Structure 1
Amino acid sequence: MARKKYKFIDLFAGVGGIRIAFEKNSCKCVFSSEWDIYSQKTYFENFGEMPDGDITKVVENDIPNHNILTGGFPCQPFSTIGKRQGFDHPTQGTLFFDIVRILEAKKPEAFLLENVAGLVNHDGGKTFKQIIKTLENELHYKVESKVLDSADYGVAQHRKRIYIVGFSEKVSSSKEFKFEWPEKNKKKVGVGQFVEQHDSGYTISNHLQKSYIYKLPDGRPQVINEESDIQVKTLVSTYHKIQRLTGTFVSDGNTGLRLLSENECKAIMGFPLDFKFPVSRTQMYRQMGNSVAIPVVQKIAKQITTTLSTAGI
């Protein structure tokens, strides 16, 4: 018997990393939202759909019915924002509140939220506690959360993120209900196999290398080549600014050192090689740095859909 094709919505969609992960689990996207015009352009180029814009202006009841809500929402300090602005609810005025109002209106059977690992300790832990309290006590979802490093799931990059998974009472009350986080891969994937050769195009000048990159003999930055059997540092949205402490660079090119290529970025984020970026290289780096490690989300998506199927949804 064919497995049910669950419907999901893609909020704070970026360029569609979460969408790819869920579509690989036979799910169907019925709505997407992304405010950044450059990300919208990339999203449209690859999926043939233009995401809705500002989520705060989207009427929740206009969103199609769906089984799963997904979103890599921005982190905002809202533990006191409600009191300052006179609202009744402590998340009012934040983008997380838009997730809350959609969950409340559409009542999907499950959700997956993703954020930076630092969210757990943001504002002394108050932000995260308020998020969980809202999801559990007000929306009545059974919530699981865990920080996962993409390097443990077949990705050649260390990328720690907090994943928050929730199931409605309809699902969690089932005698067959069971959700488990995906198991770690037994073997880690080294980045060397993905390294390309580029004589020019991503070059870091000799002057910048001498005056900044190698200004101190401290072993920084991280430099890789085709023989590197390691996982690179977290790719950040400001990668194009060439930060010696946090960046990973390649021993290659006509000056001996260059930035990661587009294909190398795709590889360490788990994007398919045929994924298109109809934007500048700077925007490509921003979009990749803001995206998700697809293989990790794909494995979580499988666990979510398995849980729903087992519960009879």
Structure 2
Amino acid sequence: MPYRMIDLCAGIGGIRKSFELTGQFVNVLSSEIDRYACTTYEHLFGENPRNDLTTEEFKRQAEKVQFEVLLAGFPCQTFSRVGLGEGFENEEKGKIFFHIAEIIRRTRPQAIFLENVDHLVTRDKGKTFKAIIEKLEIDLNYKIIGTIKNTDGSLSYHRRNFIRNSRDFGVPQNRPRTYIIGFDRGFFDQDAVSRLPNDLPERRAEPLYGNLNTVLEPNVELKYYMSSGYFETLIRHRERQAKKGYGFGYRIVNAPEIENPVANTLLATGGSGRERNLIYDPRDGIAGMEIRGKKTPLNDKGIRVMTPTEWGKLQGFVNYAFLDENGIDGFSFPDGIPNIQRYKQFGNSVTIPVVEQMALFILDCFERLGNFPPVD
């Protein structure tokens, strides 16, 4: 029988789906407050996750639910390289971690899985991450994979032990992220806990795609091709940045001279994530065409943005996680979700093949710990 889990800061359910793919986990409670994400989540899983984990009502609800694993991809914008970089100083988002910690304290799940941006480990010279690890290890008494608890009670760890990149897990996207996995020392035998592997998975054995070109769709709608005026604006912006010694600006990630192209990080902000992931996809007869909604004709370089479907492939939602036994893809967005939200929802989610490996790792740890009770 499967282990029970709760899905906090659920987004559109990427972490949940990753765990479900193992066949060993079942979700019993979810929390998400973004209305568009809730709509997509309900469309995919048949459950409305609209719950606010910061409320006492939800915390009491979580206390009443029996579960073994807590999942949380807590808000990353305050820690992101493209966000404000405020960390815990942002009252609305930074504090979410402490609400999650309070739920952990009150419910004592046997295992926890947390995900955030890679910049989390370096924010405020590592002080933010140190506070998180000390909260989990010392205050809550969880063995966090990647840490060593010294005889004097202090903790030793290297920040890189918590960073894994999607490109190492069979997906051509450069997406480093922070992953935190922990096990309750108060529940498991201490000797068994001490023998757990102390390194997170580093790669996936079988790649999903050879390189970025194998992800791309043929004959995309012309609306994805950049107008000549906008593309010229991007060129000038990049030239100005280069003169200042900066590397900012658009990127054509599959330019012909790149042997094994890989996408840059897909961003929840959508726009900048698209401009740093431009695609070279020339087609006869479209240069100079006038398209409704564009102020100038299409560019003559064959440059376009990626489609939401291509982003979905790079995150493992499309053409992977929702395939049935006959190879039919069950992923879709509900009617009425605009493209800007589709980009945002994929960019704000996890790369499913990476988190699936983390889920398998947790299962292996459960087996090593022994006598772990599944759902009755």
Cα drift, residue 207 of structure 1: 1.3
Tell me the equivalent position of 1:298: 356
Per the alignment, do residues 98 and 156 of structure 1 end up closer, same or farther by CA in structure 2, a change over 3 Å counting? same
CA RMSD of superposed structures (Å): 2.8
Alignment of 1:119-138 (within 5 A): 119-138=120-139
Letter in 2 for 1:70: L
Per the alignment, do residues 174 and 24 of structure 1 end up closer, same or farther by CA in structure 2, a change over 3 Å counting? farther
Alignment partner of 2:163: what SS? strand
Q: Please, which of 18, 32, 48 is the counterpart of residue 30 of structure 2?
A: 32
Tell me the equivalent position of 1:154: 170
Alignment of 1:212-227 (within 5 A): 212-213=234-235, 216=238, 220-224=250-254
Q: Please, which of 242, 247, 260 is the counterpart of residue 277 of structure 2?
A: 247
Alignment of 1:7-156 (within 5 A): 7-26=4-23, 27-57=25-55, 58-63=57-62, 64-75=65-76, 76=78, 77=86, 94-145=95-146, 146-156=162-172
Q: Are 1:79 and 1:126, in contact at CA under 8 Å, matched by a contact in 2?
A: no
Alignment partner of 1:201: what SS? helix
Deviations 1:225-280 (A, max 9, x none): 79963211001122335764x33334246342221112211111111343222210
C-alpha distance in 2, partners of 1:161/1:186?
19
Deviations 1:22-49 (A, max 9, x none): 0011210111101100000110111010
Tell me the equivalent position of 1:89: none
Alignment of 1:254-269 (within 5 A): 254=286, 255=298, 256-269=302-315
Letter in 2 for 1:8: M
C-alpha distance in 1, partners of 2:42/2:261?
34
Gaps of 5+ in 1: 83-91
Q: Are 1:34 and 1:52, in contact at CA under 8 Å, matched by a contact in 2?
A: yes
Alignment partner of 2:54: what SS? helix
Mean CA deviation greater in 214-223 or 66-75? 214-223
Per the alignment, do residues 284 and 93 of structure 1 end up closer, same or farther by CA in structure 2, a change over 3 Å counting? closer
Per the alignment, do residues 213 and 267 of structure 1 end up closer, same or farther by CA in structure 2, a change over 3 Å counting? farther
Cα drift, residue 194 of structure 1: 1.4
Q: Please, which of 216, 224, 231 is the counterpart of residue 195 of structure 1?
A: 216
Tell me the equivalent position of 1:230: 261
Q: Please, which of 205, 212, 221 is the counterpart of residue 227 of structure 2?
A: 205
Letter in 1 for 2:53: I
Q: Are 1:250 and 1:260, in contact at CA under 8 Å, matched by a contact in 2?
A: no
Gaps of 5+ in 2: 79-85, 147-161, 243-248, 287-297, 320-329
Tell me the equivalent position of 1:166: 182
Mean CA deviation greater in 201-210 or 151-160? 201-210
Cα drift, residue 160 of structure 1: 0.3
Report sequence identity in percent.
34
Alignment partner of 2:6: what SS? strand
Deviations 1:141-180 (A, max 9, x none): 0012510011011111010001011100123625375234
Cα drift, residue 187 of structure 1: 7.7
C-alpha distance in 2, partners of 1:32/1:113?
15
Equivalenced residues, count: 301
Alignment partner of 2:223: what SS? coil
Deviations 1:85-124 (A, max 9, x none): xxxxxxx981011111111111011001000010111122
Q: Are 2:254 and 2:262, in contact at CA under 8 Å, matched by a contact in 1?
A: no
Q: Are 2:234 and 2:250, in contact at CA under 8 Å, matched by a contact in 1?
A: no
Q: Please, which of 332, 335, 340 is the counterpart of residue 282 of structure 1?
A: 340
The alignment's TM-score, normalised by the length of structure 2, stands at: 0.73
Letter in 2 for 1:297: V
Alignment partner of 2:36: what SS? helix
Per the alignment, do residues 223 and 78 of structure 1 end up closer, same or farther by CA in structure 2, a change over 3 Å counting? closer
Per the alignment, do residues 200 and 225 of structure 1 end up closer, same or farther by CA in structure 2, a change over 3 Å counting? farther
Q: Residue 310 in 1 paired to residue 368 in 2?
A: yes
Cα drift, residue 181 of structure 1: 1.9
Q: Are 1:199 and 1:252, in contact at CA under 8 Å, matched by a contact in 2?
A: no
Letter in 2 for 1:211: T
Alignment partner of 2:224: what SS? coil
Q: Are 1:249 and 1:257, in contact at CA under 8 Å, matched by a contact in 2?
A: yes
